[in-house]
Amino acid sequence: MALDYLSLLNPSQAGAVMNTEGPCMIIAGAGSGKTRVLTYRIAHLLEKGVDPFNILALTFTNKAAKEMRVRIEKVVGPDAKNVWMGTFHSVFARILRSEADKIGYPRSFTIYDTQDSKTLVTQIVKELELDDKLYKPGMVLGRISAAKNKLISVQQYLNDPVIRQDDEAALRPKIGVIYQQYAQRCFKAGAMDFDDLLYQTNVLFKDHVDVLNKYQNIFKYVMVDEYQDTNYSQYLITRKLAAKDRNICVVGDDAQSIYAFRGADISNILNFEKDYPELQVFKLEQNYRSTKNIVRAANSVIKNNKAQLRKDVFSENEEGTLIEVIKAASDNEEGKLIANSIYEDKMNHHLSYDDFAILYRTNAQSRAMEEALRKLNIKYKIVGGLSFYQRKEIKDLVAYLRMTVNPNDEQALRRVINYPKRGIGDTTVSKLINAAEEANHTIWEVVSNADKFLPTRVANPVVGFAEQIKSYTVVAGKEDAFEAAKFIAKNSGMIEELYADKSIEGLSRYENIQELLNGIKEYVDDPEREDKSLASFLQDIALVTDADTKDAQQDGEMVTLMTIHSAKGLEFRNVYIVGMEENLFPSQMMITSRADLEEERRLFYVAITRAEKKLTLSYATSRYQWGNLRSCEKSRFLDEIDPQYVDFKFSASPGSGPGESPFGHVLERRSNLLPPAPRKTVAKGYTPPADFQPSDTSNLTTGQRVEHPKFGFGTVAKLETQAGSTKAIIQFEEVGEKTLLLSFAKLRVL
C-alpha cells in the first residue's frame, strides 16, 4: 500500500511524509501539494502501525479536516475515522467536555456565539451606566478576545499599568471592569465563548498537570496545519502537548501569514527552530498550480520581505502569458475594463465564468465590479461577504433614503426608527403599530403625530424622528440624489456612528457607506441620465438587485468576487486583482511599520498565487471619495514585480466617440491580430531645480508652457471641467501626453 501513495510524491514531499519521528517543519510554498503531504503523512503513520487514537491533527477549517479525513480513508480504510482531527476549537471543546469540572464548569457548558457575547456585553454596559457609544459591544469584545488570545486573565488585565494606560488613552477606562463582569457572568451561566475554548484549555493544562500528562500520553504525534496562522494561545497548547514525545509536525508558509489582525503571530513559525533545535525542515518548493511567469512574479515580490524563511519556489508548468496590468481613469472604468476582459476571455477561449475570480483588498470595492458585470449580464457571486446592497449598513442607509421618498414604507421605518439609537424601544414601536391598526392609519401617520397617541415623554423622540424624515424629504425635493443622500447620511448620525467604531468591522462598514455615496455620485454625474433624483436612483438599484439575485440563483456558472483574505487556500484559472493603488493596497493603515507593510506584501503574494493560467492587475488613476474625485497613485507593489513578467496590455488615451468614459478617455486594447505597437520611451526621470515652487493654476489656459517636478516641461493642450474638478491634458517633451487633475498636479507656469 505504501508504494501506492509514495510513488505520487516528489522527493521533498516523500521526505516530509516518511520522516515521522521528532520535531518537523514542512515549509509549503503556494500550490506545492501541502494537503496531500499532510494527508499521506498521517496515512504513513497508520501504515506503520501507530494507533489512530494517538494522532492529533489540527486544522483551521472544518472543511480542511473533512477533506483530509476522506483522503486518508481512501488510503488506509476506516481507521482514519479514529484520528483526532479537526479545528483547534472543535478538538479542545471535546477535551473540555470531559474535563470541564476540573476548572469549575459543568460538562454541559454552553458555547456562546458572537451574537450571544455581544448581547451580554451590551447588558453589562447598560448596567454599569456607561456610554454605549464609547463602549460598543464589537469593540469591547475585540479587546477581550485579544487579551484571551494572549492568555491575559482578568486580574492581569486589571493590574497591568500598560493595559490600563492604553484603555485610558482610548477614553475607555472601564474595559477591564467589563471584562471582569463578562467573565463572571459567563462562568455563572456555565458558558464559554469561542476564545474561552482555547483560553480555558490553557488554564486546564496549567493548573492540572495530571490532565496535561494524560493528553500528552494520548497524543504521541501532533500535527498542525497552517501553522503561520496560530496565535500565542494555540502555540502554547501544541507545545505543551508535544513536550513529552516531541513528535510535532507543523506545516505552513510564512509568506502566506495574513491574519495578524485576528491575533496570528508569524513569529511562531519563524522562531519554531528555537523551541526544537533538533528540528528537521522540509521545503516544498515546486508549485503545481501556476505558470512559470506567475510563480516568478510572486517570488520577485515576496523577496522584498526581510522577515521570512528563505525558499525558492519554482514551477515546471508552461511559461504562460505575461501578467497584464490595466490602467483605468477611474474605479468605474476599472470595473468596465475587467468585465469586458472577462467576457472576451470567456468567448475567445471557450471558458466558464467559474474560471474567473476578482479579488480586492476591501469589501467596498465590489460595488464598481458588480455594476460593471451586471451591465454585461455576467452572473457573479460574492464569497466571504454579502452582495454590496445586502450589507447591513447599506440597507440601513438605503432604508433612510426609501423613507425619505416614501414615508409610508413600513419596513424601512421599522429598520431605522431607532438607528442610530434615539430612545425609541421595541415597546414604543409596538404601541405605534397597535395605534396604527386601531385607528386604521399608516404607521407613518401615527409616527408623525405621535403626541396624540403616546405620553409626552415617550412621544418626544418619535416626534423628533418624524421631523428628521420630513427635513430629508424637503432636501430631496430640491437636490439631486447625491446631495440628498450625503445630507441624510450625515444628519441621521450614521456616519458619526460608524466612524466612531475603530474595529476592523467598523472601518469596513464606514468604507461601504463611502462607497455607496461614490456610486450615487457617479449616477448623477452620468451626462446621459436625465432624472438624477433620489427616487430615480432607488428605483434603479431596486430593479437591478432584485432581478439579478433571482437570475443568479438559476444559473450555477458565475464569476467569483471576494476579498483576498477570503481567497486564501483557493485557486482559479484566471484571477483579477483590482485596486492596485497606494493607500488602498497597501492599505493606508498598514504602511506605518515594516511589520505591517510586510503583512500587506504577503497578502499580495497570496493574491498572485491564486492564479493558475492568467493573472491581471488593475489600478485607477482617480477614485471618488465622499463624492469628491481624488487622484490615485499606483501601488508600490506593482513596481516590485520584475518587469520581464509584466505586460501593460491596456492603455488610456484622450479621445471622443463611442466607449468614452465619464472622464473623457477612450480605452484602447491592442488587437491580437496586429503586431504590438511600439512603446513610448519614457524618460528615466526629471529632476526639478532646487527653487521649484508650484504656481496657482486656477487661471491656467491652453497653450501655456508649464513645468512638472516629475514629467519636466510641457504645453497645455486642453482643459476640461467635470463635477467641479478641472483636468489639464498636457503634451510633455519627454514623456508625451499626460492628463492631470489640477487640484493635485504640482505645476509651475512658465
User: Could you write out the DSSP letters of every residue in 176-245?
Assistant: HHHHHHHHHHHHHTTEE-HHHHHHHHHHHHHH-HHHHHHHHHH-SEEEESSGGG--HHHHHHHHHHTTTT
20, 35, 122, 726: which one is catalytic? Answer: 35
Q: Write out the three cell numbers for 325.
A: 496590468
Structural contact between residues 80 and 55, judged by C-beta atoms closer than 8 angstroms:
no
Model confidence, pTM? 0.69
The distance from CA 146 to its chain's CA centroid, rounded to whole angstroms, is 19
The answer to whether 664 is annotated as binding is: no
Q: Which amino acid is it at 159?
A: N
Q: Write out the three cell numbers for 15.
A: 521526505
225, 253, 371, 522: which one is catalytic? Answer: 225
Let me know if residue 41 belongs to a domain. Answer: yes
DSSP conformational letter for 265: -
- Give yes or no: residues 394 and 432 share one domain: yes
Rounded to an integer, what distance in angstroms lies between the CA atom of residue 566 and that of residue 584? Answer: 17
Let me know if residue 435 belongs to a domain. Answer: yes
Rounded to an integer, what distance in angstroms lies between the CA atom of residue 586 and that of residue 110? Answer: 41
pLDDT tens digits for 489-525? 999 999 988 888 877 778 888 888 988 998 899 889 8
Neighbour-count burial for 681-710, b at 16+ CB within 10 Å, e otherwise: eeeeebeeeeeeeeeebeebeeebebbbee
- Give yes or no: residues 449 and 398 share one domain: yes
Q: Catalytic: 256?
A: yes
- Give yes or no: residues 61 and 206 share one domain: yes
- Give yes or no: residues 208 and 61 share one domain: yes
- Give yes or no: residues 363 and 438 share one domain: no
Residues in CB range of 126: below 8 A, 6 or more apart? 132
The distance from CA 68 to its chain's CA centroid, rounded to whole angstroms, is 27
Let me know if residue 659 belongs to a domain. Answer: no
Range of the domain at 153: 110-189
Give the three-state DSSP class for 725: strand
Nearest CA-CA partner of 132 in 512, 462, 421: 421
Residues in CB range of 531: below 8 A, 6 or more apart? none
Let me know if residue 400 belongs to a domain. Answer: yes
Rounded to an integer, what distance in angstroms lies between the CA atom of residue 274 and that of residue 747? Answer: 56
665 backbone dihedrals φ, ψ, rounded to 5° = -115, 140
pLDDT of residue 379: 92
Nearest CA-CA partner of 514 in 537, 486, 474: 486
Rounded to an integer, what distance in angstroms lies between the CA atom of residue 672 and that of residue 670? Answer: 6
- Give yes or no: residues 367 and 394 share one domain: no
Structural contact between residues 364 and 515, judged by C-beta atoms closer than 8 angstroms:
yes
- Give yes or no: residues 403 and 523 share one domain: yes
34, 296, 311, 614: which one is catalytic? Answer: 34
195, 196, 226, 393: which one is catalytic? Answer: 226
Q: Catalytic: 610?
A: yes
* Domain closes at, from 236, 262, 284: 284
pLDDT tens digits for 207-217? 999 999 999 99
Sort 510 into a burial class: Cβ within 10 Å, 0-12 / 13-18 / 19+: buried
Which CATH number belongs to the domain containing residue 320 in this structure?
A: 3.40.50.300
219 backbone dihedrals φ, ψ, rounded to 5° = -90, 85
Q: Catalytic: 245?
A: no
Q: Catalytic: 225?
A: yes
pLDDT of residue 387: 66
Rounded to an integer, what distance in angstroms lies between the CA atom of residue 140 and that of residue 172? Answer: 9
The beta strands (E) that lie in 644-689 are given as 646-647, 650-654, 665-669
Q: Catalytic: 34?
A: yes
pLDDT along the chain (750 residues), means of 10: 69 91 93 89 91 92 80 83 87 88 83 76 90 90 92 94 90 94 85 90 96 96 93 94 94 88 86 91 94 96 91 92 93 93 93 95 90 92 74 90 82 86 87 82 85 85 92 93 94 89 82 89 84 82 47 64 90 96 91 90 96 96 81 94 84 34 30 34 58 82 86 87 74 82 80
Nearest CA-CA partner of 380 in 552, 573, 575: 552
- For residues 404, 518, 341, 673, the Cα torsion angle rounded to the nearest 10 degrees is 120
- Give yes or no: residues 524 and 402 share one domain: yes
Q: How many domains does the chain have?
A: 5
Let me know if residue 544 belongs to a domain. Answer: no
- Give yes or no: residues 599 and 580 share one domain: yes
Q: Catalytic: 303?
A: no
The answer to whether 32 is annotated as binding is: yes
For residue 420, whether the previous peptide bond is cis, meaning omega lies within 30 degrees of 0, is yes
Q: Which amino acid is it at 249?
A: C
Q: Write out the three cell numbers for 477.
A: 425635493
- For residues 23, 28, 32, 35, the Cα torsion angle rounded to the nearest 10 degrees is 60
- Give yes or no: residues 75 and 209 share one domain: yes
Per DSSP bridges, beta strands 712-722 and 705-708 are: antiparallel
Rounded to an integer, what distance in angstroms lies between the CA atom of residue 478 and that of residue 92? Answer: 61
610, 614, 623, 727: which one is catalytic? Answer: 610
User: Could you write out the DSSP letters of every residue in 18-76?
Assistant: H--SS-EEEEE-TTS-HHHHHHHHHHHHHHTT--GGGEEEEES-HHHHHHHHHHHHHHH
For residue 676, whether the previous peptide bond is cis, meaning omega lies within 30 degrees of 0, is no
DSSP conformational letter for 571: -
Let me know if residue 145 belongs to a domain. Answer: yes
The answer to whether 724 is annotated as binding is: no
Rounded to an integer, what distance in angstroms lies between the CA atom of residue 69 and that of residue 251? Answer: 17
Structural contact between residues 716 and 738, judged by C-beta atoms closer than 8 angstroms:
no
The answer to whether 477 is annotated as binding is: no
- Give yes or no: residues 632 and 563 share one domain: yes
Which CATH number belongs to the domain containing residue 148 in this structure?
A: 1.10.10
Q: Write out the three cell numbers for 685.
A: 526621470
Give the three-state DSSP class for 561: strand
Q: How many CB atoms lie within 10 A of CB 48?
A: 10
- Give yes or no: residues 118 and 93 share one domain: no
Let me know if residue 679 belongs to a domain. Answer: no
Nearest CA-CA partner of 366 in 350, 395, 387: 387
Per DSSP bridges, beta strands 628-631 and 622-625 are: antiparallel
Sort 607 into a burial class: Cβ within 10 Å, 0-12 / 13-18 / 19+: buried
HEC readout, 690-712: CCCCCCCCCCCCCCCEEEECCCE
The answer to whether 29 is annotated as binding is: yes
Let me know if residue 305 belongs to a domain. Answer: no
* Domain closes at, from 532, 548, 582: 532
pLDDT of residue 722: 65
Strand partners, 725: 722
Q: How many residues does the chain have?
A: 750
Give the three-state DSSP class for 129: coil
pLDDT of residue 94: 85
The answer to whether 35 is annotated as binding is: yes
Strand partners, 26: 251, 282
Q: Which amino acid is it at 220?
A: K
* Domain closes at, from 166, 189, 212: 189
Give the three-state DSSP class for 145: helix
Distances (CA, A) of 338 to 198, 581, 584, 619, 676: 43, 16, 18, 11, 21
